[in-house]
Each structure stands twice: as structure tokens, then as C-alpha cells.
Structure 1
Amino acid sequence: MTAVSGHGPWPGDERDELEAQLTVLGDLAELPTGVAAVPFLTQLVGRGPGADAVGRTAALLADLPVELGPHGWKLADHPGLDLRRADTFLREDLGALAIAAHGYDGTLAVEVVGPWTLAATLWSARGDRVLADAGARRELAESLGEGIRVHVAALREQVPGISGVVVQLAEPRLGAVHAGVLPTFSGYTRLRAVPGPDLVDGLRPVLDAVHDAGADAVVHLGDTWAGIAPAVLAGADAVGLDLGTLGSPGAPGWDERAWELVARATEKGVSLWAGLPPAQVSQCAGPMLGELVRTVAEPWRRIGLPASGLDTVTLLASPRRTLASTDAHRAELANLGRIAEALAERAAA
């Protein structure tokens, strides 16, 4: 069944977490008939450091404390105030989820930063990016995997009736890691490109941990298709791709090489989480959703995939962002529901 979900960023501060979680669960429960809902743990990034994506993920790492440095989050010798703040935000979010989702028995999604993007973003305690050290990034992946096991268990404890958990691994920097374009600490050189087999090896322990915890794994690649094959080979259940960045005005969403990889993944049972940009709004007709329906459906048909397979697609907003207001987020979820309904009708035709 075609579904709708989200990444998690939401406007507001610590006073708004319960309201945000209630809004997501309530709005997704009102999607059109024939569209599945995958509610997600909201992230109020406006609370500051520790509520951001990297800080939230850092709070999950097992035996690898972090702190804020001049260039952002970095590994630390021992836990400190920055890590305690991030951990507090995460506990508060789980507490709000427990209240908002009381009695909920469907699937829940939660997003964390994936191992390659995390290694490209975190700095070592006294040196360059963690990505520069093969041993350090291997340790980071293992730590993240263990942290995710604990996190999934905590989700099930807070909402004991849920039927499943989807862990979304955000990997927007995986393409840059593979291309070798990330600057070193000095900025004068670039870090060495990571070959495809190593990308697979770096993803696998985290995906294995997700599966060991009884959850499904989505690897979100953002606007690059370079990571589709490594994600599939590492064992992802789904890959996420921002379709709005592909193609041209005359062929929205169409990139032949990208869709060939999507088709191969689909044939292996790996589903697509399709990121869609905001709908253009006409003063006369309102949101122009037909173009976004075509952004998914036309490349799907053009590459030769069966229309019935559209019922395996999950839609969410892209790029990963926090809109200015709660009303804007709610409108976007409603639009995604209408787009999903149109795709579901095509799948059933």
C-alpha cells in the first residue's frame, strides 16, 4: 500500500514536543482511504545544539562520547554537558511519543544519521574528520549499531503496541564520501575517495544491527543515486531518493542511470522512499499536485516497472528540512496524502 511518512524535523521548542507528536499522529491518521501512514518521531531542532540531527545521533553512540567544538560535533575523552543536553532532548522526545502514541498499534519511523555521513561530519578529538581514519570510522559504525539496538528497544518500551519500527539512516553525504570531495581540517586538500566495496562494509554493521533489533532499515541518499547499489548490497530494506533533484523541467524526476538502479533494487525486493519537493501553488487551483504525481509515476513507467509496484512506494518531503510553521508541515503531509492516493489508484488500475 502506498504510504506517507516523514524525516522528523519540526518547528518549535521544548514546550511544543508533545503537541508536535500529537499533530503528526493525528494528521497521518486522517490520510485518504487506501494510503498507509508511517508516523515518525518528531525532532524540534529549534531547541538548539543537541536537538540537531548529528547531536541526536551522537546521544545514541555506545561508549563514544562527543562534545561541541569549533567546527561542530567532535569525539571527546569523556561525557560532558553537550552530550547530556542531547541525551535529555532525546529522552523528552521519547516521553512525548509515549503519551501521544498511547494505544497506537501501527509502524513507527525514527531517523538517525547514517555511519558515512556521521563519519564525514564528526571530528576526531585531536585531528581531522573521523572519515579520515579507517579504524575510527569502523569503531563509529559499531558504536552506532549498538546505540540503534538500544534506541529501538526504547521505542518499543515507550509504545509497546507498535507492530514495527523503521529506522531511517540519513546518508546525504555518502555521495561526497564516494567522490572524495570533502575537505580536510586545513581545507587545503581533500579526503581520499571511499570505494564502493568499502561503502558496503561501512553500512553493513549498522544495517545488521537494525535487523537484529527487529526493525526495517531505509537508507536515505538525498540527491545522489551513487549510494543505491551499496545500500542494497549492505542489506537495506528500502532506499530513499529526492526525486525533485533529478531530471529537467520537461522531464521531472527522470534520470536514466538513477532509475535503472531503482529498478534493479525494486526487483530485489528493496522498496523506494521517494522524497518530493513542495508543491507549486496556483492562486486559482491551489497546490499543483499533478506534477508531483508524474514525478514518481512517469519515470516508474518509463523504466519499465509495473504500475502495481507503486503500492510499495513511501512518500515524504524533500529535502530534509524544517518549515517555518506547523501549518506548513501539516499542509505538506496533507498534500503527500493526496499524491499517495493518486499513485495508489494507478497501482490498482
Structure 2
Amino acid sequence: MSAAAFGLVPGTSMEAAANVIAGESAGIRAVPVLPQRGVTGDVVAHTLSWLPDLPVDIGPRAWRVCARPQNATRALYEQRATDLDALEAAWGSTPACKIQVCGPWTLASAVELSNGHRILSDPAATADLFAMYAQALEEYSAVLTQRFGVRKLKVHVLEPATRRIAEGSIPGTSQLDPIAAHSPKHMGERLHELFEAWNRAGMEMMLDQGSRPLIEVVQVAAPATLVLHQRSIAGFSHAELDRVGTWLGTGHLAHVGDGDERSQAKSVSGLMRTLGYSPAQATEALMMDDPQGASGLSAAARRIAAAREAAHILHETAGEF
């Protein structure tokens, strides 16, 4: 049984966030992402900062691809280096680490080409993004290994846009320029190719589709771990729960929960029963805090601690509630 911070931390100071992660986490440490820094601090910007072959600038609606690095591009690279220096000073070595990245499908829907169209609207540009994404993450992993002595790396892949992409509800430049829907099977296959390559490089994939996961994508992508948010589970249909239960026969669960440690532990134990598993198998879940609503560092610390204690309770009780 283990726990880890989700990775989204309030505030703008990497030093303060690093101290909260180190103080409240047990074992694995999550590289913090600081959305309150604004457009340059969210998970999209964090991911763009380690894609050197994708220079970008801040456009009128979103990040926009440029022919060569701009001031905004250089600022992202400099911020990443400064943040890594701060983490190294705060942590020293950390053999187990979790990084949070914006998945390639969601990134393709969030970033525009130079002509103002989303990358997602252009199959060739999307394919190019996947290719550079695969190489860049391996290079980023090597940087973490060199700086922190990381031997175990979990990659928390955020793909909240997959359902909207499958539904064809991502807007184009206008109503007359819709972006075609993509099949869940196709999206899962492209993710699976990346996951297989990263697995061979020693990274462990965690797929997180937010509050409305598309289980068909999970089944094909085959990540090591499926991230489920406590607040979304109640909205699952019986068919979706059956598919989750079937998938868990080959993978692991990461549970993002809110509330005190006992309520989180009971939630995971109850979910395993619903999926047809022994409560003891709840002890295999990775517990993570729900960062929503943590407006300050002290609240974030309490949420991370609650996830850690929930993991301890499940371990001590073998999941029996």
C-alpha cells in the first residue's frame, strides 16, 4: 500500500511546494506543478517546457506553435531549470518520483498551430507531436535520474480531453470548421505505443482522464495504473463499472480522494467490493490527494497527509471495512 501527492500545489513558490511534498509524502515524491503562477504554471506549460522541438508563444486564445523559440519559450525553459534547481536543493536525492504531464491528446487539443487551428485538427501535426513527445519524456526522465538519482519513475499522464475528442466536441476555429471525432480505439492505440516505449525505458504509466474517464481508451492503452477520482465513480454506469473491474484484473488502481483518511479508506474498500474483488485487494491501490479546494499550502498538506494515512489504514486492516 502506498500514497503519493497528486502534484498540483497551491502558491507560486517551488521551494515551499517542495517542502510540503517532502514533509507529507511517504516514499514517492511528486514533482510539483503550480497552476497559480498563471498561464506559465499549469500542466500544459509544464509539459511544453520539456518539448524543445516545439517552440511556442502565448497566442490570443492559447499557446501557439512558432517557427523558432520566442521569449515565452525561453521563459518556460528557464523556469524549468530554476524549478529543478530548487527541487534539488530541497530534496537532494529521491529514488522514487512521480511526474505529472499533460497527455499528448489533451496537449494537441490545447495548443494551436501557427495558423490558429488546433494541432488536433491536423493529423500530420498530431503525429509529429506524438513523435517529439515520446523522445522528450525519455530525455526528461534522464535529467531526473541525473539530478535526483531516480530509480523508480511514475508518469501521471493527464488526458481529460479524451471524451470530448471522442465525441467531436472540441471546437475548431469556428462552427464551420469542426474538428472530427476520433475513435476511442485509435486514441488508445496511439497511447499504447507511447506507453510501451516508456515502459521499456523503465517508466511506469498512470492514465488519468479526469472526472469523465473513457474506459474504452484505458482498455486499449493498457497503462500500468488507472487513476480514478472519488467524485466521478458515483456517475459510472453498471457497464462502465464492469469494464473497470475487468481491466483491474491486469492493472492497478490509483484513487484520488477527498475527506478524512477513514472516509477515503472506506471509499476504496467499498469500490473494490463493487467491482467484485476482495477488500484485501484495496491495499494494492495508490492513494492520492484531491487537490481541488486546497486554496493554501496548509490545506494541501492536510490533504496529502490524509491520503498517506488512508493508505496506512488500508494496510493495517487489509481493506476490511
Common fold: TM-score over 0.5: yes
Find 1:55's aligned residue among 40, 45, 57.
Answer: 45
1:180-215 residue CA offsets vs partner (Å, 9 max, x unmatched): 111111145642211122112321343234224311
Relative distance call for 1:348 and 1:10 in structure 2 (3 A) is: closer
Instruction: Find the counterpart in structure 2 of residue 10 from structure 1.
Output: 9
How much does 1:97 deviate?
2.0
Aligned to 1:77: 67
Whether the aligned pair in 1 keeps the contact of 2:145 and 2:151 (CA below 8 Å) is no
CA contact (8 A) 1:307 1:346 kept: no
Q: Using a 3 Å threshold, how does the CA distance of structure 1 residues 103 and 290 change in structure 2: closer, same or farther? A: closer
Contact 2:64 2:116 in 1 (8 A): no
Indicate conservation of the 8 Å contact 2:4/2:308, yes or no.
no
Q: Given the alignment, which residue of 300, 303, 316 partners 2:288? A: 316
Q: Distance in 2 between matches of 1:187 and 1:111?
A: 33
Partner of 2:133: 144
**What whole-Å deviation, never above 9, does each CA across 1:141-171 have from its counterpart, x for those lacking one?**
11111110111001011111x3301111100
Aligned partner of 2:57 among 34, 51, 67: 67
Contact 1:49 1:86 in 2 (8 A): no
TM score, norm. by length of structure 1? 0.85
Establish whether residue 244 from structure 1 lines up as the match of residue 231 from structure 2. yes
In structure 1, distance between residues paired with 2:28 and 2:293: 18
Contact 2:269 2:319 in 1 (8 A): no
Q: How does 1:193-232 map to 2 (within 5 A)?
A: 193-226=181-214, 228-232=215-219
Residue from 12, 20, 28 that aligns with 1:38: 28
TM-score normalised according to structure 2 size: 0.92
Q: Does 1:345 align with 2:316?
A: yes
CA distance in 2, matches of 1:18, 1:51: 14
What is the CA–CA distance in structure 1 between the aligned matches of 2:175 and 2:4, rounded to whole Å? 38
Distance between the aligned counterparts of 1:214 and 1:313, measured in 2?
Answer: 20
Q: Are residues 1:271 and 2:252 paired?
A: yes
Please tell me the residue identity of whatever aligns with 1:274: H
**Distance (Å, rounded) in 2 between the aligned partners of 1:139 and 1:197:** 20
Query: Residue 273 of structure 1: SS of its match in structure 2?
Result: strand
Match of 1:19 among 16, 25, 44: 16
Amino acid at match of 1:169: V
Query: Match for residue 173 of structure 1?
Result: 161
Give matches, 1:247-258, under 5 Å: 247=234, 255-258=237-240
* Deviation at residue 303 of structure 1 after TM alignment: 2.0
- 1:283 maps to none
- Contact (CA 8 Å) 2:99, 2:154: kept in 1 or not? yes
Give secondary structure in 1 for the equivalent of 2:248.
helix
1:28-47 alpha-carbon deviations (Å, 9 max, x no partner): 14xxxxxxx32100122333
- Report if the CA contact (8 A) 1:224-1:241 is conserved: no
2:115 match: 126
Q: Does 1:259 align with 2:241?
A: yes
What's 2:91 paired with? Answer: 101
Q: Letter of the 2:277 partner, please give it.
A: L
SS in 2 for 1:305: coil
Alignment of 1:323-342 (within 5 A): 323-342=294-313
Q: Higher mean Cα deviation, 321-330 or 254-263?
A: 254-263
Structure 2 segments unaligned to the other structure (5+ residues): none
1:28 corresponds in structure 2 to: 25
Tell me whether 193-202 or 70-79 shows the greater mean CA deviation.
193-202
Q: Secondary structure at the match of 1:267?
A: coil
Q: Which 5+ residue runs of structure 1 have no aligned equivalent?
A: 30-36, 249-253, 280-286
Displacement of 1:73 in angstroms is 0.8
Q: 1:84 to 1:230 in 2, by over 3 A?
A: same
Task: Provide the rounded CA distance (Å) in 1 between the counterparts of 2:265 and 2:128.
Answer: 42
CA distance in 2, matches of 1:62, 1:205: 21
Distance 2:237 2:256 in 1: 15
Contact 2:88 2:147 in 1 (8 A): yes
Distance 1:255-1:169 versus aligned 2 partners, 3 A rule? same
Residue by residue, what CA displacement relative to the aligned partner does 1:14-61 show, whole Å, maximum 9, x if unpaired?
xx31232122112114xxxxxxx3210012233333222111111222
Give 1:33's aligned residue.
none
Among candidates 305, 311, 330, match of residue 277 of structure 2: 305
Percent of pairs identical after alignment? 22
